[in-house]
Amino acid sequence: MFIELGDVVKALRVLEGRGGSASLELFLRLWGPYAYAVLNRALDWDLVYRRGDVYKLARRGRELLKLLGEGCPVEARVARGRLWLKTPVGLYAVELTPSYLLSLAYKLAEACGEEPWRIYAETCRTLARAASRSLDKWLLRRAGALCF
């Protein structure tokens, strides 16, 4: 089953709004059976933990919500000849293709609640800065051609 990242973040925000814990019944009323998939994904990522029928916000979930509250911070670095992008939702080895960068921007926009075009522009600037600092100058030409 396809689970939207934004729904996992919404579940975390529900838990935060209810003092850090909520029963399974609340999520079932909100989403129906889809709640099982969302909460299991949050459990898999160690964002929440479960005690009986009560889900509690884990430390990692609180950190993610804190990062998402600051907008959508994106950091980039070059390692082993590849560009790596560190986002609030994980670390990605970035392919320098427009479709990949747009897809990533839309995923981050959904998770962070921002506009995809802003995240795309910020991602491009961050990748270009990281490529300019590296010894792999071919990355700079690729990043510059894609984003600007």
DSSP 27-64: HHHHHTTHHHHHHHHHHHTTSEEEETTEEEE-HHHHHH
Average pLDDT over residues 1-12: 85
Separation between Cα atoms, residue 67 and residue 140, nearest integer Å: 28
pTM given for the model: 0.53
Q: Is the pLDDT of residue 109 over 90?
A: no
What is the pLDDT at residue 94? 84
Separation between Cα atoms, residue 130 and residue 54, nearest integer Å: 43
* Domains of the chain, residue spans: 5-66, 70-147
Token pair in block for residue 23 = 């029963």
Instruction: Name the CATH code of domain 5-66 (choices 1.10.3470, 3.40.1800, 1.10.10, 1.10.287).
Output: 1.10.10
Q: Is the pLDDT of residue 111 over 80?
A: no
Q: Is the pLDDT of residue 34 over 80?
A: yes
Q: Is the pLDDT of residue 33 over 80?
A: yes
Separation between Cα atoms, residue 107 and residue 43, nearest integer Å: 20
